[in-house]
Structure 1
Amino acid sequence: MPRPKVRPEDRQRSSKACLPCQASKIRCDSQSPCMSCVRRERAAACTYIESNSRRRSHRHLRDRPIRFVSRMNPEGAAASSTPTRASRSVANNVNRNDDGQVKPLLANGLPSTSVVESPECTESRVLLSSKGERVYIGETSALSFLQFLRGIMKQYMGPSSFTENGPLNIMLEADENEDRTVVLEESIEDKRELIQAYFEASSGFLDLFKKSDIYKVLQTENSSHKKRLTKEDLAILYLVIAIGGQCRGANPTDHQYAVNYFSRGQQLGFDGMLKHPSIHMVRIFVLMAFYMLGACHRNAAYMYLGVASKAAATLGLHIKRQYQGLSEEEYYIRWRVFRSLRVFDLVVSTPLGRPVSSLPLDHDGSPLPDRMQNTDGEAVSAAFAGSKLLDEIVQKLKTMDNNLDSETAEHFLHRLRLWINNLPPEFRHLAADNDTVPLVREKAIGSIHVSCIYYFAIILTTRSFLISHLMTRLKELSILTPGPAGSPSTQGNTSTKIPQLANVCTQAGAYMANMCEKAMLSGLLLRNMCIVKAWVFAAGLILGSSLFVYDDTETRGETESAFQSARHVLRNLANLSPQAKHYDEILTSFAEAIVKHRQHVVSERQKAAKQYIDCIFDIDITPTAGRGERCEIDDGDGEDVDYFYPVFDESIPGAVFGGLDNFPGVESSNLDNTSVDLDGFSGFSFQDGANWSIDHEPFGLLFEGM
């Protein structure tokens, strides 16, 4: 019997939620304002988007013609690598109108009446913050690529859990309701361990001060000479301890250390600090940005970096002339602070697709004399060189409308290879020697961060080629609605660069995901990695998009394994990070869509074949799995070859010979069910096997030895 309809007055669950509650993923009572917003003092932002539940049918969306854009024109000549905005799609910026239908939303926040078409590449979009404010996300962000994939998949196979996964225009931010009144039983030993955890988590990003200097401040803070410390010194110490507790997250005490000490450090940092820019001010706001990023407040982190960047520009840290006449100690302090700010600003802003706040050096090279070089900040030095290349790639993408030509892409890939070839040997192999576990982890995380910068730079360089290749493959796989015979996308593409560089993009994602999983399984990752989760999510989207359309078995297993590695890492980080949990949910729904799509393609191919052929004789005799006999057969060249053939066992009726029951995670009864175990990918094959030159291959695992 159909389920009885519940009257509105009898409904116990809310039928809608306000925008702040949707963004925070908390229960809403549908009042205006709701109690959740009242408790969090955000009643003014408690707004609702009215829409009903009527949606267009899956069949209507699935049967819609899809417009594919090719890099080749009908005459076979190369198309322009910078398509005009007028011909580009706005399918990434999705909003819903009153009847529940998809309606494009441009970067200025206004609805568009243009026809939604399959986009050629990612575009900037607007999301809503937890307060209901519109925030900007650029073309290079993983969120823009995610929306591109959702638009393509929805047009190709209809709505799914992946395309309809929660509010599409909400930028996830964690709840700020933290209890900061809990009294801690503090010990200096706990604080020392948390300081070490900070240096592990920030390795390769931040080199703001020496470790010995922080330990001296801690010792003074726990002595009778505490009054000698300035409020800037205390703010830095408290923020370091807070970050250590947040990233280690070994127990509830670590979390309480993080909450309490960040509150203290933030209060001291805001106490008149904006009036007098200083090196300490830059340090404090960089540390607050690091903490906010780990707390899933990306907008706050970005704004804190903006304050730090303006202070650094005011001090002239990017100008070489300003370093003249300084003592060696002050010279080195200014340089290491600027270098840390620049690296962290780039690795935070680029995944969000937002402009970088800090200014680049006004000259090439380092202002630091050779006699002052040391090994304290080698990881940050390597990351600084890599982030400079990353910035050049992003700027070039902007000038070329987010589409690099193959010559430019190969140029950047060559420069990236030169960079990693010049790295010290310790970045390529992990050697414990006589170091303690924390020091080994600190070195390992530094190498992981440098490696991720490298892989992410390759992904940004080659992602447009992957998109172009995916569009071509989607058209080839389209059985129900094939394109016109003379359309550009159906003609053979004479260029081999696109599939080659598309494979480079996939390989970069695979290397990153596998490396991070190995580090996690080796105990080298902390429980909260503020940037790694965003990088791994970006890699997971690249791998998933490859699995969605590829149908060659040559390297399918490696890509599927790397995709599962990305999900594994995010699932582990999800214990402390709502953002990582959300990323894992997205990749899980993506995996479900991949399995559903594979089943659909297999079914359609079988239907197409049945127009010309029928099965006329079927054998239902069941052999015993695992039993058989071995014999030797002459191969014609005078050599015997072992051959295994099964022996039938009539005592076991009903088993399926060679069926999917023999594959782990896949049952034959689930062939037509969308609930197939996502780890049972072995029943289907999707991977591109195009040959590609070793010159385009990423250097391999930049960080080995785990």
Structure 2
Amino acid sequence: MDIVRVFLLMSFYMFGACRRNAAFMYLGVAARSAVALGLHAESSGSISRSEQQERLQLWMSLCVIDLLASSILGRPAATSSLLRENKREVHRMTVTPAEAGLFASYQLSLVLEEIISCLYSEKAASIEKADSLLAKLNRWSDHLPESIRTSSENEEPSMAQERIIGNMHVACSYHFAVILVTRPFLISTLSVRLARLHQTLSGVAIDAPEEDPAHSRLAAACTDSAVYMLQTCMEVHQSELLLRNMGILKAFVFAAALVLGFSMFSHHDVDPEIDGAFTGALAILRMLAHQSAQAALYLDILTSLEAAVTQQRRRMAAQARQRRSQYVSRIFSLTDSPRPARMQSEEEGRTAATSLIPGGPFYPWAPQDDGPRTVTPPVIDGAFLDWEGMELPLWDSFPFTEPGSSVL
């Protein structure tokens, strides 16, 4: 059993060192070692109760880290088939808060495995499946003990930090699972909004589709879950309880910030709560970037996305000013060119329209030609037209290409 523990610790260390391929391989060694020892099956009666508890805790720890890491990296989990084949009964552990958190994480990992299997492995999403999976997640959250939901005031600082970080990871895992369920519908909804935004900025009438109310409802749940995750992380960060290198948290924060960034890009109105959560994600990654090259890369990507959102909002504001008044223009400025403001607004509107032409990065499913352009969003309740955009590695796996990279 020490072999399993050693490879789990080596895997966790490698994630912190940004060597994700090596970490994934060590997880595989730990999983096969656990199977060889029979940790995945019920213990026989000849084993003492304390040893049974020890074997069970080790197996649950392996499943949690394996399923989380695999879902983030977009790779098959070594324990997923074992979880499906062996429906092992695990009794709730309430001896210590740490054991309660481990049990909650293990139960959540079972739902996470089902999410990956139903939505991503089969490459088909439906409203019925999403509602069913979200109902399971809600039932899981309803049975969480109070030790995971609240903080304690009568603990030693070191013990309090350990428990708070553990509870934060449980909460982030839950919000990440919700994001995985609802993200296909967020992509569908944002594609419709971007089509309408293109119509607004270009002034050209196109056959823009209508938003599906059910898809919009699930897309809102995806955004809300990302906001809640980042707000939770920001509370811990502002309390100065975060560690300086957190291998899993940086991936959670990046995934949630991507959801919010693309939502901000496709919205006409500014939501202060979403903007604040996105800014909080940048602050957390900026702190983690001092010791993590992966966090530094995530920060660079999100900073570029923030710049794109800012530019998009400036274009929309300039066009709104142009529509409000056609009788006045700016005469003098120390920074702007001497062109009349109306001319500058018209050029910005044409630039915005060009950047949103179907077939670019926001419309990969639309053809890029000189003929009539029709924006067709992906179909959810049926065959998804662009499932390549739904693969998990595209949301998290950004390999380093610079010399001296620490990633295999």
TM interval, shorter chain, is: 0.7 to 0.9
User: 2:217 — aligned with what?
Assistant: 500
Structure with the larger strand share: 1
Name the CA shift for 1:617/1:465 in 2 (closer, same or farther; >3 Å): closer
Deviation at residue 616 of structure 1 after TM alignment: 5.5
- Please give the residue correspondences for 1:79-478 in structure 2 after superposition, counting only pairs within 5 Å: 279-320=1-42, 322-358=43-79, 359-360=82-83, 362-367=85-90, 374-375=95-96, 376-401=98-123, 403-433=124-154, 435-478=155-198
Point out the structure with max Rg over C-alpha.
1
Query: For residues 109 and 145 of structure 2, what CA distance do their matches in structure 1 show?
Result: 17
Letter in 1 for 2:242: L
Q: Which letter does structure 1 place at the counterpart of 2:228?
A: Y
Q: Percent identity?
A: 37
The answer for unaligned runs of 5 or more in structure 1 is 1-278, 621-653, 656-670, 675-706
Aligned: 1:583 with 2:304: no
Counterpart-to-counterpart distance in 2, 1:373 and 1:324: 23
Root-mean-square deviation (Å): 2.7
Alpha-carbon offset, residue 319 of structure 1: 1.7
Alpha carbons of 1:482 and 1:400: their partners in 2 closer, same or farther (altered >3 Å)?
farther
- Cα contact 1:379–1:450 (8 A) shared by 2: yes
- The 3-state SS of whatever aligns with 1:360 is helix
Contact 2:192/2:209 (CA < 8 Å) preserved in 1?
Answer: no
Q: 1:560 aligns with which of 263, 267, 275?
A: 275
Q: Deviations over 1:433-482 (max 9, x none)?
A: 1x110100111011101001100000000001110111001110114657
Change (3 A) 1:603 1:421: same
Change in Cα spacing, 1:350 to 1:323, as seen in structure 2 (3 Å) is farther
Distance 1:288 1:617 in 2: 64
How many angstroms apart in 1 are the aligned matches of 2:203 and 2:184? Answer: 23
CA deviations 1:403-455 (Å, max 9, x no partner) are: 4211211111111111011010121111221x110100111011101001100
Question: Is structure 2 residue 285 aligned with structure 1 residue 573?
Answer: no
* Secondary structure of 1:546 counterpart: helix
Alpha-carbon distance in structure 2 between the residues aligned to 1:350 and 1:367:
23
Query: In the alignment, residue 190 of structure 2 is paired with which amino acid?
Result: L
Question: Is contact 1:342-1:384 (8 Å) kept?
Answer: yes
Inter-partner Cα distance in structure 2 for 1:323 and 1:603? 72
Amino acid of the residue matched to residue 418 of structure 1? R
State how far apart, in whole Å, the 1-side matches of 2:266 and 2:291 are. 33
Secondary structure at 1:354's aligned position in 2? coil
CA gap of 1:329–1:603, structure 2 versus 1, over 3 A, is: same
CA distance in 2, matches of 1:581, 1:552: 30
Equivalent-residue separation in structure 2 for 1:323 and 1:567 (angstroms): 50
> One-letter code of the match for 1:525?
L
Tell me the equivalent position of 1:603. 318
Q: How many residues align?
A: 333
**Structure with the higher helix share, 1 or 2:** 2
Q: Distance in 1 between matches of 2:74 and 2:257?
A: 18
Counterpart contact for 1:470–1:549, Cα < 8 Å: yes
Cα offsets for 1:135-170 (capped at 9, x unmatched): xxxxxxxxxxxxxxxxxxxxxxxxxxxxxxxxxxxx
- Distance across 1 between alignment mates of 2:252 and 2:260: 12
TM-score (norm 1): 0.45
Query: 1:388 Cα shift?
Result: 0.9
- Among 326, 330, 335, the alignment partner of 1:614 is 326
Q: Which amino acid aligns with 1:366?
A: E
Offset, 1:315: 1.5
| Offset of residue 599 of structure 1 | 1.7
User: 3-state DSSP class of the match of 2:83?
Assistant: coil
2:94–2:100: 8 Å Cα contact kept in structure 1?
no
